[in-house]
Structure 1
Amino acid sequence: MPTTALQTLELQDFRLESGTVLPTARLAYQTYGELNETKSNAVLFPTWFAGDHTSNEWLIGPDRALDPREYFVIVPNLFGNGVSSSPSNTPAPHAGPDFPRVTIRDNVRAQHVLVADHFGVQRLELVIGCSMGALQTYQWAVSHPGMVARALPFCGAPKTSPHNAVFLESLRATLTLDAAFQNGRYETRPVAGLRAFSRVYAAWGFSQAFYREGAYRRLGFTGLEDFLTGFWEPNFADQDANDLLAMLWTWQNADVSTTPGMDGDLPRALGSITADLLAMPAEKDLYFTPEDEEYTVRHVPNGRLRTIPGIWGHLSGGGANPDDAAFINAAVHDLLTGKAREQA
């Protein structure tokens, strides 16, 4: 499916919002399809927590709304995910636990260089993303309103809520309590911490109804323990612990209202969005809740809400459930063709 092999854009002396300068920041990205002569068919699809460019491929294809025969889909990898610049692949003095704190805006600024300077695209037909990809989608719509024609954040928000932040703190505490972690300077992987991390996450990724109804059996698992060891633990077993912590910090501190000029005023930041925006929370998401997104769209001038129904919670946005995948794909199609506005 990808048009080319994985590419990397090197950003020299890349200054982060923290003030730290990375001598070479590497933004890894994958593209699908071809950029047309007028450069008017580009779609940006940033990645989520602990995912990479391949995690988004379920929504890209000739039988889907993001058809690479029509659109040029750019999938940039999140800083910290082990593919773009991360604790695990950055040389000293920024290696491991010394990797600087990176914000959502730092990611968007790097992506802007990729889109505008490298590809010469001045207007994106669509910015779309799930979870941390949705955080980036909202930031794009606030930071570059003139470039974003349409935005579809799903299973996400413009700002990480206090409850969401508490959930993330539980993950951080669980991982770092492993004696092998050694304040991030581990000589052997903190396997016990990673395993515990996955089990804490398991309670949040899906809804109570998902577990009550035993919906994990649809994925081929016979019981809860089988599901925990066969689904959740592999999700994080190969992740670098410092990478996970770096992404957690980025997620935890996401907030479009801290964009320069917005003065911490969330309604003001949301009101600056000019994109045709369709927010899609999952009905039973435990940490990016529909209630929060209902508040969001009230402040976005061209904002609308379409809730993903069902019991899969936050993982409704992962593409594993065919019903959810079809619902999201239909919404992308509607937004790109103007039907979302007609149905509002």
Structure 2
Amino acid sequence: MASKQWLVEDYEAGDLPLTSGETLHSARLRYHRIGELNAPKDNLIMLPTYYGGAAAGNHPWVEGNSPLDPDRYCIVIPALLGAGESSSPSNTAGAQRGPGFPAVSLNDNVMLQKRLVEDIFGDARIALVMGWSMGGMQALQWGCLFPTQVRAVLATCCTARCYPHNRVFLEGVKAALTCDHAFENGRYRSPPERGLRAFGRVYAGWAYSQAFFRHELWREQGFGSIEELLRFWEQDHLGQDANDLLTVLNTWQNGDISDNPVFGMDYEAALSAIAMPTRMMPCTTDLYFTEEDASEDGRRMPGATVESLESDWGHVAGGAGREAASHNRILAAARALLSGKAS
């Protein structure tokens, strides 16, 4: 592991037809890669990214004594379209810059990732697709669309579609951002800082559970007060582009693994296609990707086992390196899936 370094590369896909019927011009997929593909081409691991996160946010899953060992596996982290690294409103030229950027779906992201696997990795078999939050939704999308190529799926703190209360939560953070007069319907001349700060503060109240605040678990993150945590969330969102945030939020709100030509909105059929060994790992205190919704999805996937994360950290528990106990349980599940010992 010590001799291997992450490589940051771009896959230039040209004009990309989208589920909406629009075309994303000169589409580019940013990805991080570590480890080498073996001769049988069956040791590829995909780690799709989550909302508001850069590809490097998944690196902790590969560090230390992780079963995601770059001496054994070729590990790829593809960055979400719209999130600031791959093609996004903030880095696209011409008419598709800013508010002109087209809507992209879970299917669009995964089909672009599929092209990456075909063109750069020889259409390798995928030993594991693993993700948190929107990364988990992409993992499930991979599982249902390519069941013969994907050997195992691990999805933490997510569901296979965005359920109604989750959509309402997202409407709240969206409103906090767009009500800033400086937003100017996405045509802002300078960042809408008040809206970005409000977005971060509102989001922080949903990312963790009530018990997280009641038991002052924010102290474990090094904060001296709730106000310090909220200021951290403000600063984090001041570093992001407003149109990028809204583009990926739209992907999330409309996320549904059956929304593609293969399943034609037949949600039961999409869930039924996930017959490979799959681990659904919701958190017991997640406020928007709820344990109830995730468990119900898991029960309808023939290959899935539901293993809840007992944690007061809410949605954050499912992220790479966020909360030690949950992080270790997630990696134990990954180890079982990679060894073939998980059902």
Residue 41 of structure 2 aligns with an amino acid whose one-letter code is: K
Native 8 Å contact 2:206 2:287 kept in 1: yes
Aligned equivalents of 2:278 and 2:5: distance in 1?
A: 28
What does residue 45 of structure 2 align with?
A: 43
Paired with 1:100 and 1:48, the residues of 2 have a C-alpha distance of: 19
Q: 1:233–1:63: structure 2 CA closer, same or farther, 3 Å change rule?
A: same
1:253 paired residue number: 254
- Residue pair 1:273, 1:301 contacting (<8 A) in 2 also: yes
When normalised by structure 2's length, the TM-score is 0.96
Between 1:2-11 and 1:327-336, the stretch displaced more is 2-11
Conserved 8 A contact 2:162-2:252: yes
8 Å CA contact 2:107–2:259 kept in 1: the answer is no
Structure 1 gaps of 5+ residues are: none
For 2:325 and 2:64, locate their aligned partners in 1 and report how far apart those are by CA, in whole Å.
19
Amino acid at match of 2:118: A
- Rounded to whole Å, the distance in 1 between the matches of 2:283 and 2:237 is 23
State the shift of 1:258 in Å: 2.2
CA contact (8 A) 1:3 1:34 kept: no
Bigger shift: residues 325-334 or 72-81 = 325-334
Amino acid at match of 1:136: Q
d(CA) in 2 for partners of 1:337, 1:305 = 18
Give the AA of the match of 1:254: G
Query: How far is the alpha carbon of 1:252 from its aligned partner?
Result: 0.4
User: Are the equivalent residues in 1 in contact too, given 2:207–2:314 (CA < 8 A)?
Assistant: yes
Question: What residue is the counterpart of 1:311 in the other structure?
Answer: 312
Secondary structure of 1:292's partner?
Answer: helix
Which residue is equivalent to 2:137?
135
Distance, in Å, in 1 between the alignment partners of 2:84 and 2:172 is: 22
3-state DSSP class of the match of 2:333?
helix
Q: Which segment drifts farther, 143-152 or 14-23? A: 14-23
The correspondence for 1:122, drawn from 101, 124, 127, is: 124
Percent identity over the alignment? 44
Q: Deviations over 1:94-141 (max 9, x none)?
A: 000000000010000100000122210331000111001011011111
Q: Give the number of equivalent residue pairs.
A: 340
Q: 2:101 maps to what in 1?
A: 99
1:280 equivalent to 2:281? Answer yes
Question: Which residue number in structure 2 is paired with residue 180 of structure 1?
Answer: 182
Q: C-alpha deviations, 1:172-212, integer Å up to 9, x for none?
A: 11100001111111111111000000011011000000001
Task: Name the residue aligned to 2:224.
Answer: 222
What's the secondary structure of 2:202's corresponding residue? helix
Aligned partner of 1:148 in structure 2 is: 150
Alignment partners' CA distance in 2, 1:294 and 1:4? 34
Mapping of residues 226-241 of structure 1, within 5 Å: 226-229=228-231, 231-241=232-242
Kindly indicate whether the alpha-carbon contact (under 8 Å) linking 2:37 and 2:73 is maintained by their aligned counterparts in 1.
yes
Q: Aligned residue for 1:20?
A: 22
Ranges of 4+ aligned residues in structure 1 off by more than 6 Å:
none
Counterpart amino acid of residue 249 in structure 1 = N
The 8 Å contact of residues 128 and 153 in structure 1, kept in 2 or not, is answered as yes
Deviation at residue 62 of structure 1 after TM alignment: 5.0
Distance in structure 2 (CA, Å) of the matches to 1:279 and 1:273: 12
Equivalent pair of 1:216/1:227 in contact (CA under 8 Å)? yes
Deviations 1:124-171 (A, max 9, x none): 000111001011011111111111110001111110000000011111
Counterpart in 2 of 1:267? Answer: 268
Q: Which residue of 1 aligns with 2:57?
A: 55
Partner residue in 1 for 2:244: 243
The CA distance in 1 between the partners of 2:263 and 2:123, in whole Å, is: 26
- Whether the 8 Å contact between 1:145 and 1:274 is mirrored in structure 2 is yes
2:212 corresponding residue in structure 1: 210
Deviation of 1:4 after TM superposition, in Å, equals: 5.0
Contact 1:257-1:263 within 8 A present in 2 as well: yes
Q: 2:12 and 2:189 mapped to 1: Cα distance? A: 29
Distance change (3 Å), C-alpha of 1:4 and 1:286: closer
Distance across 2 between alignment mates of 1:5 and 1:67: 15
Shift of 1:339: 3.0
The letter of the residue matching 1:102 is V
Question: 2:275–2:304: 8 Å Cα contact kept in structure 1?
Answer: no
Shift of 1:85: 0.2
Could you tell me how far apart the structure 2 residues matched to 1:65 and 1:180 are? 47
TM-score by length of 1: 0.96
Query: Could you say what secondary structure the match of 2:12 adopts?
Result: strand
- Asked whether the equivalents of residues 61 and 68 of structure 1 are also in contact (C-alpha less than 8 Å), the reply is no
C-alpha RMSD over aligned residues = 1.3
What's the counterpart of residue 79 of structure 2? Answer: 77
- 2:166 aligns to what SS in structure 1? helix
Indicate which of 11, 33, 56 corresponds to 1:9.
11
Unaligned stretches of 5+ in structure 2? none
CA distance in 2, matches of 1:34, 1:62: 18
